Structures are given as structure tokens and as C-alpha cells.
């Protein structure tokens, strides 16, 4: 009788052990896939660049940021949502099916106007206007 009880507990322990290992390996593979595609680093770089550019702008300033690489990566990853969203005091850049990378800025968002200009394929730009109508 003692052997069967010990066998049951070791079976439960093994199932838990293997399921936790499987979860860890799958999580690691997802992270490696996102990192190898460059989406994590690219999202962070563009979000910080845009937010810092907004913070450094003075009223009456217009700034153009080329974002063709960002759109190319989003198309490669088949992202259908908006790639860049400026909402509240946050810039959100999304080039994969994850939640994207958020970065906050300090400037007043009600003075900020922005548009995504897709004149030609490969020449996408983000136009920021601060304090201009």
C-alpha cells in the first residue's frame, strides 16, 4: 500500500515539473522570436525618439521623422493595428502582435498635432506639429 501512495505523489510532482518546464520553454521561445525579429528594440527606439522629440519641441515647431523601417517591420509581422498612437501623454509604437512599447512625454498634448504621411511605399514619415494649427 505504501508504494502506490508514493507513486501517486511522484506522478503528480512529475506532471507539475514537466508542465512548468514546458511553460518556461514556450515563454523563452516567444521572447527569442520577438527579439530576433527586432520588433522589441525597434519599438523602444522609435517610441523614445518620438517622445523625446515632442518634449524638445517649442511652440510653432514642425518636425518630420522618417518611419519607413517601422512600417516595413510592421508589415513583415502582419500588424493590422495602428503602428504609432499618441494618446494622452504617451507614445505607443506597435510592430508586432504584442501590446507594443509605451513611452511617456511631458509636453502638453493639447498643443500637439500629428499625422502619418504615406506618400509612397518606403517613404512613410511622421509629421509632428507643436503649437501650430
Residues 50 and 80 in one domain: yes
Residues 11 and 66 in one domain: no
Q: Give whole-number Cα distances, 33 to 72, 77, 83, in Å.
A: 17, 11, 19
In the prediction, which pLDDT does 4 show?
61
pLDDT value of residue 92: 92
User: Is residue 50 located within the same domain as residue 99?
Assistant: yes
Maximal C-alpha separation, the chain: 84
pLDDT tens digits, 115-126: 887 767 777 888
Q: In which domain, by residue range, is 99 found? A: 39-130
**Domain total of the chain:** 2
Task: Give this prediction's pTM.
Answer: 0.69
Q: What is the pLDDT at residue 131?
A: 76
Residues of the chain below pLDDT 50: 1
Distance CA 127, CA 66 (A): 9
- The pLDDT of residue 133 is 60
* 14 and 44 together in one domain: no
Residue 104: the pLDDT is 92
Amino acid at each position: 500500500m505504501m508504494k502506490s501512495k508514493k507513486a501517486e505523489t511522484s506522478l503528480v510532482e512529475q506532471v507539475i515539473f514537466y508542465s512548468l518546464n514546458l511553460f518556461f520553454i514556450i515563454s523563452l521561445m516567444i521572447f527569442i522570436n520577438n527579439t530576433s525579429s527586432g520588433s522589441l528594440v525597434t519599438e523602444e527606439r522609435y517610441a523614445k525618439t518620438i517622445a523625446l522629440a515632442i518634449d524638445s519641441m517649442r511652440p510653432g515647431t514642425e518636425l518630420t521623422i522618417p518611419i519607413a523601417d517601422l512600417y516595413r517591420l510592421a508589415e513583415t509581422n502582419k500588424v493590422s493595428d495602428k503602428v504609432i498612437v499618441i494618446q494622452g501623454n504617451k507614445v505607443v509604437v506597435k510592430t508586432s502582435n504584442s501590446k507594443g512599447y509605451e513611452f511617456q512625454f511631458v509636453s502638453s498634448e493639447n498643443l500637439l498635432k500629428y499625422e502619418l504621411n504615406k506618400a509612397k511605399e518606403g517613404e512613410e514619415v511622421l509629421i509632428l506639429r507643436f503649437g501650430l494649427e
